[in-house]
Each structure stands twice: as structure tokens, then as C-alpha cells.
């Protein structure tokens, strides 16, 4: 059987992470974060998100270096919980949540693309949905190639991503008001206030949606060169780079547009660039140019997201834990073609929902079925699996894993109660499905 090829180095791996992280997410979520904080002090949510992303990133870094194969969390949970007889269940639950999370994530990026297109030309709802579906198809088609070409295309996309965010930051530095950007309400300094921390928790959910993707390289671990060193480095580099860009972009935006306006906008970056020009016509053309770049960034993020998720069913099928057909690799392109096509096809129906519907509960489901268990997995793997080499150990081990688990629980419990109920029900359904379809065989 044709195997995947290890051909992506540090630059390509970091580029894959960054373009996965910087999609349409921050351009859409900044207004919602401002609304959640009820003020311009959004920097608190970005910092909280960065602390969690770095702590959780170190969890992925250690696991990815120890088990550098395709599938990411599926592989980590299976091996870490195997000594307790729970490896099969945890691996199944990971695949079970991926069935929901993957198409929601892919469709969310595509719908975000179609949403931002409204700045240029409003379209009818049906046209909007069809555009989102087409974006899914085109992004998947671009992945129908060998991993060397995928890596080169990811680097090219990274350049455009940096140009897009860089334009917002540089344009803002010459026109924003620091006094306005940091005109925080008195509540922002009351760190003993429960309301402040609840606001930070709510806004951090949105921040983590925008940070999401720092672990994308783990899903394609079987195609990474020198994975033991490349995976940890790419995770830390991409997380720090993206966090810096997000914070600078937010500061210049709220330093130029009053936060009351920002929270109502749905195309805030384009509107921001438009205002940097004194000539309305020139400003409108600049806003359209920014929208075009953001659309490219959104498509790039979708490209990286589909790339990562397509490797999970492939890895599970190759190990005999999923339908065998998903283990098929294209003989010439050396890509998991069946898995790629399936992810795209399942995502298309979700393109007919709104972005709010797609994002809602997405983080909470992953927290309960995946994130907190991986924080435990990194400790269990080190303690109970001496047969697996540990070429990288997180700094201050095991405190980043403990901090990550605590922060994930904080975000889960401060989220909508409907999401908590749905996540618990989904977990119970996964356990029932495992007992019925796997243990019941």
C-alpha cells in the first residue's frame, strides 16, 4: 500500500499552522469579543487565550514529538490510555467528535468567507450558501497533490496572510489613538470582580476560536521531516507570531474606530482600512482590496484545516479502527484521497447554516471530548509508557498541562449552559455508540 511521505520542514509546518490559525476568524470575532468584554479592553481575552494556547501547545508539542504520526489526538489518546484498558474508547471518542467538529470547522471557514464577501457585493441567501459550498470544493481540490507541493503552497499563502494582517497594523500605527485604544472602563481594573472574569471567559472562547490551528501540524505528523524537533518548534513559533499579530491588529482598530462601533461591525478590518483614507472613493477601493485579501486568507485557513482533518480518518483506518476505505492513498499524488473527499462532501450541507450556529458549542464539545483528556494524556504517556521515547519534554513539566486543563474547564463552565448540556449529551452518545458498535461486536 502507498504510504504518506515525510517532506515538510520547519518553514512549511509553521506556515501550515499559521494559515490555519489566521483565517477569517479574527476579522469576524473581534467585534464579538468587544461586545463580550463591553469595552475596548479586549487585550485581556487575547492574553488569556495566548496563555492557554501556549500551555496547550506544549501539550501537543510533547505528544507530537513522542508519537509523530498522522492523526494527532487520535493517536495520542489511544496510546496514553491503553495501559488502563481505555485506549480503544478514547480513540473512538476522538473520531466520534471529529465527525462533528471537522465539517463544522470547515463549513465555518467557508461561511465566514461568504459572509465577508458581503462587503463587496451583497448576495441572496441561497447564493451565499452556494458560494460557501464552492469554497469547500475548491479548497479540497487544491489539496489533491503531493505533500511537497502542499508545503510550497502553504508558504505562499503565509506570505499573503502576513501582508494582509501587516497592512492593517501598519496603516493603523500611523492613524490610531493610543488614548482611545487604552481608554479602559473602571471595571477593567477591578480584578476582584466576578463579572470581569466571566467576561474574559466568554471572550476567551472567541479568542481560542481564532487561535485554533496551532496544533494542525500534529494531524499531519506522518508527513513532517525531523518531527521530534519540527513539531514543538512550529507550534511555539506559530502561536507567538499569531498572538502578536492579533493583539497589534486589535489595538490599532479600537484606537481608530470607537469600540461601540466596532462591536456592531461585521466587516471591521475592511471598514478600518476604508477610514484610513481621506478620499472616500480611494477608501472604498482600499476596503475592497482588503476584503479580497481577507477572502484569500479565509480560503488559506480552510485549506490548512481540511489538510489536517483529512489525516485523522486516514490514520484511524490504517490502524484498523475505522472503515478501511479511508486508508486509501492516491498512488500518484500520495494523499489520502478518500478521506479528503469525504471531509469536503460532509461539510457542504453545513454551509447552509449561519456562522453563529456553526461556531456555537464547537469549543465546548472539543473541551469535553478531547482537550482535557489530552492534558491528562501527556502525563500518563510519560509515566506509564516507558516503551515510547520522549524526545521533547515541555518546559516546567507538568505545570503547562495542568494549567491548560484548568483553563479549558474554566472556558467550558463559563460558556453557554446549553453548550454544556449538549456536550455532556454528545459524550454520553459517544460512549453508548462505542459499547454498541465496537464492544458489542
CA distances from 275 to 27, 288, 320, 336, 421 (A): 16, 12, 56, 45, 43
22 close to 242: Cβ distance less than 8 angstroms: yes
Q: What is the domain-level CATH number for residue 276?
A: 1.20.1740.10
pLDDT along the chain (441 residues), means of 10: 80 91 80 91 94 96 93 92 94 86 85 83 89 92 82 86 90 89 90 89 85 90 92 96 94 94 86 85 88 85 86 86 85 87 89 72 86 95 95 95 93 82 91 81 57
Has residue 63 been placed in a domain? yes
DSSP 8-state class, residue 32: H
Has residue 122 been placed in a domain? yes
199 close to 208: Cβ distance less than 8 angstroms: no
* Rounded-to-integer distance, Cα 379 and Cα 323, Å: 30
CA distances from 206 to 42, 48, 211, 354 (A): 11, 11, 9, 16
CA distances from 5 to 150, 168, 356 (A): 12, 38, 38
- Give the burial class of 387: count Cβ atoms within 10 A of its Cβ; 0-12 exposed, 13-18 middle, 19 or more buried: exposed
Residue 334 gets the label, from left (phi > 0), alpha (psi -120 to 50) or beta, of left
End-to-end CA distance of the chain: 27
Has residue 3 been placed in a domain? no
Please state the φ and ψ torsions of residue 24, each to the nearest 5 degrees: -80, -10
Q: What is the pLDDT of residue 1?
A: 52
Q: Which residues sit opposite 8 in a β-bridge?
A: 224
Has residue 133 been placed in a domain? yes
Q: Which of 279, 247, 276, 305 is nearest to 47 (CA)?
A: 247
* Rounded-to-integer distance, Cα 100 and Cα 93, Å: 11
Please state the φ and ψ torsions of residue 70, each to the nearest 5 degrees: -70, 150
Q: Which of 9, 64, 29 is nearest to 391 (CA)?
A: 64
Q: Which residues contact 301 (CB under 8 A, 6 or more apart)?
A: 19, 20, 21, 22, 23, 24, 25, 109, 213
341 close to 94: Cβ distance less than 8 angstroms: no
Has residue 290 been placed in a domain? yes
Q: What is the pTM of this model?
A: 0.85
CB atoms within 10 A of CB 228: 15
Look at the chain and report how many structural domains it folds into.
1
Q: In sequence order, what DSSP letters do the residues of 289-343 get, joined into one string?
A: HHHHHHHHHHHHHHHHHHHHHHHHHHHHHHTTSS-GGGG---TTT-S-HHHHHHH
Residue 284 three-state SS:
helix
Q: Which residues sit opposite 159 in a β-bridge?
A: none
Q: Which of 313, 293, 289 is nearest to 301 (CA)?
A: 293
Q: What is the pLDDT of residue 331?
A: 86
C-alpha cell at 249: 491588529
Q: Which of 262, 248, 354 is nearest to 37 (CA)?
A: 262
Please state the φ and ψ torsions of residue 224, each to the nearest 5 degrees: -100, 130
* Rounded-to-integer distance, Cα 5 and Cα 338, Å: 17
Has residue 1 been placed in a domain? no
C-alpha cell at 61: 508539542
Has residue 402 been placed in a domain? yes
243, containing H or E segment: helix 227-254
Q: Which residues contact 318 (CB under 8 A, 6 or more apart)?
A: 70, 327
Q: Which of 302, 301, 237 is nearest to 22 (CA)?
A: 301
Has residue 39 been placed in a domain? yes
Q: Which of 165, 169, 141 is nearest to 333 (CA)?
A: 141
* Rounded-to-integer distance, Cα 201 and Cα 247, Å: 17
Range of the domain at 163: 10-437
Q: Which of 138, 188, 80 is nearest to 351 (CA)?
A: 138
358, containing H or E segment: helix 355-359
112 close to 24: Cβ distance less than 8 angstroms: yes
Amino acid at each position: 500500500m502507498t504510504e504518506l511521505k515525510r517532506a515538510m520542514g520547519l518553514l512549511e509546518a509553521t506556515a501550515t499552522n499559521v494559515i490555519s490559525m489566521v483565517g477569517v476568524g479574527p476579522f469576524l470575532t473581534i467585534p464579538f469579543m468587544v461586545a463580550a468584554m463591553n469595552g475596548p479592553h479586549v487585550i485581556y481575552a487575547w492574553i488569556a487565550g495566548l496563555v492557554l494556547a501556549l500551555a496547550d501547545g506544549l501539550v501537543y508539542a510533547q505528544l507530537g514529538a513522542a508519537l509523530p504520526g498522522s492523526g494527532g489526538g487520535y493517536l495520542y489518546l489511544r496510546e496514553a490510555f491503553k495501559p488502563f484498558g481505555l485506549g480503544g474508547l478514547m480513540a473512538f471518542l476522538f473520531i466520534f467528535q471529529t465527525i462533528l467538529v471537522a465539517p463544522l470547522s470547515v463549513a465555518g471557514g467557508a461561511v465566514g468567507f461568504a459572509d465577508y464577501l458581503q462587503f463587496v457585493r451583497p448576495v441572496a441567501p441561497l447564493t451565499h450558501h452556494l458560494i460557501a459550498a464552492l469554497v469547500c470544493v475548491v479548497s479540497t481540490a487544491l489539496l489533491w497533490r503531493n505533500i511537497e507541493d502542499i508545503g510550497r503552497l502553504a508558504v505562499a499563502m503565509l506570505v499573503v496572510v502576513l501582508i494582509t494582517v501587516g497592512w492593517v497594523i501598519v496603516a493603523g500605527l500611523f492613524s490610531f489613538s493610543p488614548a482611545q485604544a487604552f481608554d479602559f472602563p473602571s471595571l477593567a481594573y477591578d480584578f476582584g470582580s466576578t463579572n470581569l472574569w466571566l467576561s474574559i471567559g466568554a471572550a476567551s472562547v472567541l479568542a481560542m476560536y481564532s487561535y485554533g490551528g496551532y496544533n494542525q501540524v500534529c494531524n499531519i505528523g506522518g508527513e513532517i521531516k525531523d518531527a521530534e524537533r519540527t513539531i514543538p518548534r512550529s507550534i511555539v513559533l506559530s502561536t507567538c507570531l499569531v498572538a502578536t499579530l492579533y493583539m497589534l491588529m486589535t489595538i490599532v482598530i479600537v484606537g481608530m474606530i470607537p469600540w461601540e462601533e466596532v462591536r456592531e461591525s461585521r466587516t471591521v478590518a475592511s471598514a478600518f482600512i476604508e477610514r484610513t483614507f481621506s478620499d472616500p472613493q480611494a477608501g472604498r477601493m482600499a476596503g475592497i482590496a482588503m476584503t479580497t485579501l481577507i477572502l484569500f486568507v479565509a480560503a488559506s485557513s480552510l485549506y490548512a484545516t481540511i489538510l489536517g482533518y483529512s489525516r485523522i480518518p486516514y490514520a484511524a483506518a490504517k490502524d484498523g479502527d475505522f472503515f478501511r476505505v479511508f486508508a486509501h492513498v492516491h498512488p500518484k499524488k500520495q494523499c489520502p484521497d478518500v478521506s479528503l473527499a469525504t471531509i469536503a462532501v460532509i461539510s457542504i450541507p453545513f454551509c447552509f447554516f449561519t456562522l453563529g450556529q456553526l461556531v456555537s458549542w464547537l469549543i465546548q464539545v472539543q473541551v469535553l471530548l478531547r482537550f482535557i483528556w489530552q492534558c491528562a494524556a501527556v502525563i500518563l504517556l510519560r509515566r506509564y509508557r516507558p516503551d515510547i521515547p520522549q524526545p521533547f519534554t515541555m518546559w516546567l513539566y507538568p505545570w503547562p498541562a495542568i494549567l491548560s486543563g484548568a483553563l479549558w474547564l474554566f472556558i467550558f463552565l463559563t460558556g453557554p449552559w446549553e453548550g454544556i448540556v449538549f456536550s455532556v449529551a454528545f459524550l454520553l452518545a459517544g460512549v453508548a455508540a462505542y459499547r454498541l458498535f465496537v464492544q458489542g461486536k
